[in-house]
Amino acid sequence: MQLLILTNPNPCIFHGKVGPKIQNMTTITLHSGKSKEDRTFERFPIDSMGTIEEIVRDNITISLPPTKAKLINISQGGMRFSSTYGLLNEKDKVFLRIEVNKSEQVLIAEVVNFLNVLSRHSEYGCRFLDTNT
């Protein structure tokens, strides 16, 4: 069993085993498993829409009209999403606002690569940034 928890600043992934039932309750033993240095992160497919309202490029904050983005997958270290073609460049800092179970979360990441899939959309691969630095 794997559990992805969207925490601030970065998501956490826990691995676990379903244990025996105790008084009609199922026990689950969780452990964090992989370290940040381990680049073989589990990627979780995710079907969620988000909005980009702000990016930082060359240390300049740029406000955007709300721009839709579709999350493709997420891991402990980053995410991949699809959005407007040519919107972002490598090393841009992006603020992606998503809603999960009626709770809003802002994911902050740096674009590390992009792939122009269609003429109107690109897929952007990002790594999460530590917001405490």
Q: What is the pLDDT of residues 28-86, one digit of tens each?
A: 666 665 555 444 557 778 888 999 999 999 999 999 999 999 999 888 788 999 999 88
Residue corresponding to tokens 């979360």: 105
Based on the domain organization, do 61 and 124 belong to the same domain?
Answer: yes
- The number of domains in the chain is 2
- Between CA 8 and CA 39 the distance in angstroms is 20
Based on the domain organization, do 52 and 103 belong to the same domain?
Answer: yes
Based on the domain organization, do 83 and 52 belong to the same domain?
Answer: yes
User: What's residue 10's pLDDT?
Assistant: 61
Domain with 68, as residue range(s), is 44-128
- Between CA 61 and CA 72 the distance in angstroms is 25
- Between CA 121 and CA 77 the distance in angstroms is 23
Based on the domain organization, do 27 and 50 belong to the same domain?
Answer: no
Residue 124 is assigned to a structural domain of this protein:
yes
User: What's residue 57's pLDDT?
Assistant: 96
Based on the domain organization, do 80 and 111 belong to the same domain?
Answer: yes
Residue 72 is assigned to a structural domain of this protein:
yes
